Structure formats: C-alpha cells, structure tokens
A and B are shown apart, each in its own frame.
Chain A
Amino acid sequence: MPDDRITEWALGLVKADVHAFKRARARFLRQPSAKRLHELRTSARRLRSLHEDVHEAIPPFLLKRLRVLIDLTGEARDAAVMREALRDALDVRERRAARGLLRALRQRERVALKRIAGTLEHVRLSQP
C-alpha cells in the first residue's frame, strides 16, 4: 500500500477492531453467555472481513487463529440457535422423538464452548 494516508486509515480500522475483539474476548472469558459468544464471534468476523478488504492489515498467523475461532464460535452458536428454533417449533406430540436431538445439540454447544475458551488462550492480539 504505497499511499501513507491509506495505510494510516487501515491501521486505525484495525486498531478499533482489535480493541473490540479484546473487549469481547475478556467479557466472554469472564462469564460465557450466548450474547457474549455472539459479540466474540462478530468481532472476530469483523477482523477477518477487514483483512479481506485491506489485505495487508492482519498478519497471516493471526488470521489462521481467527479462522479457527470463527469456526468454533459458529459451531457453538449454530447448536444453540438450532436448539432454540427446534424448541419453538416443536409439536407437543413430537416432544419425545425430539429429545435425542435436543440433547445432542446441547452437548455440541458445550463441547464447542470449552474449545473456544482453549483457543482464546492462543489468540492474543497486540495493538498495531
């Protein structure tokens, strides 16, 4: 990126997004919840998206870790949302038949949440 003004602007964007990610990370680690998971996932996706727009903005090693984190948060989020949607739409006569799936989704969410906490240990960002 030869234009210094663009570099400076891009760094400003990265700085803001890194700050948001760090805050979301700390909040999630302090007390995981669906809302905090959503914030964490969104902030990681924003960083990745920024990298897609301004390619030089994020170092490749960090991008790889962000990708892993985004996948994991996606797994936890999908399981939670599917469970919620199934509960909402569930016909009373089919409650028993849905029990296994509801349990499996809960388990999937739990496993993913645990792995997220582990992954977050390795995703440390420093301000540019």
Chain B
Amino acid sequence: MKARQIDLSDACGVDDAMRRIAIVRFAEVLTLVPALRRGRSRDLHDLRIACKRLRYALESFTPREPALLEAASRLSQLQDALGDLHDRDLLLLVMPKKLTVSAQRIRMQREDALARARALWRDAFAPYGPFEGLMRFTGLGYGFAQGMDN
C-alpha cells in the first residue's frame, strides 16, 4: 500500500509537523489492522509495511519526544512477527508439492507468528502499555484499547 502524502506546508513548527506525520502513519496502521483477524497474506504484508513506516517515523522523533520510544519498540516486535509470517508465506509459494511434512511445519510456524502478532497488538493498548505515549501524542487509537474486535 502506498504511503499517504502529508502536507506540512502550513505546519506550525517541528512539533506540529511530527504530530501530523505520526497521525497519518498511525491512522494507516489502524486502518489495516483488521488483517490480524482475517489472517490473509496480502493484507498482513500491507500492515507490516505500515508498521514499518510508523516505526521509522517515531524513531526519528524520539530525541524530541521520548514518550514515543516504547511504541517504536513495540512496532519493531510486531514487524518482526509479521516478517516471520511473510517469509513463511513466500516459502510456501515456491515449495515443491512433495514436501508435505515440511510444508505443514512451515504452516504451523506461520500460525505461531500470527498468534504472536495478535498478542503484541492487543497488549500494546493496555493501560500504561507501549502505545500509551503514541495515543496521547496523536489522539488516536483509544477505540482500539479494547482489542482487535474494533
């Protein structure tokens, strides 16, 4: 999924510019997060890319806004879990059909990675959890604090 362009032409200073960027990138993640429930490969890949964009942005903001560090670190973990899943999906696509036992193992690893990603996401919204600073900074995500059913 292509990143949305962000208009900073009328931003009032650096803090405002950072906030605008974080809002757009976090909104992209929140829009794509139903992929965790559906478990479809393509959607999960898009979510991983959106997490990466948000994480990189937050990491470059942390010298000015240290409260975002925890969210960046959680996004990195989430990205790792989704990356493991994506690697398995790619592998399953090229594996010869006769590797049935190995393919079954890889499918199980994929499910483990998905379960890990779901748990990381759910836990991120806990009170005083890793996304607390990000939610306060952007004003987004409070509806997600209840979990993935949103």
B116 within 8 Å of A by Cβ? no
Contact indicator per residue, chain B 82-106, by CB within 8 Å of chain A (1) or not (0): 0000011011001110111110011
A interface, over-half SS? helix
A-B pairs under 8 A by CB, number: 88
B8-36 residues at the A interface, CB under 8 angstroms: 8-14, 17, 21, 25
Interface size class of B (residues with CB under 8 A): 20 to 34
B142 within 8 Å of A by Cβ? no
Residue of B nearest to A97 (CB): B98
B interface, over-half SS? helix
**A97 pairs with B57, CB closer than 8 A:** no
Q: Could you say which of A16, A54, A89, A97 contacts B8, with CB atoms under 8 Å apart? A: A54
> Given the complex, which residues of B lie within 8 Å of A46, measured CB to CB?
56
Q: Could you say which of A16, A45, A98 contacts B52, with CB atoms under 8 Å apart? A: A45
B150 within 8 Å of A by Cβ? no
> Given the complex, which residues of A lie within 8 Å of B10, measured CB to CB?
2
**B17 pairs with A97, CB closer than 8 A:** no
A75-114 residues at the B interface, CB under 8 angstroms: 78, 81-82, 85-86, 89-91, 93-94, 97-98, 100-101
**A49 pairs with B102, CB closer than 8 A:** no
**A78 pairs with B87, CB closer than 8 A:** yes
State the B residues within 8 Å of A (CB).
3, 5-6, 8-14, 17, 21, 25, 52-53, 56-57, 60, 87-88, 90-91, 94-96, 98-102, 105-106, 109
Task: List 5 additional A-B contacts (Cβ < 8 Å) besides A3-B8, A6-B8, A98-B99.
Answer: A6-B11, A9-B17, A16-B60, A52-B53, A101-B96
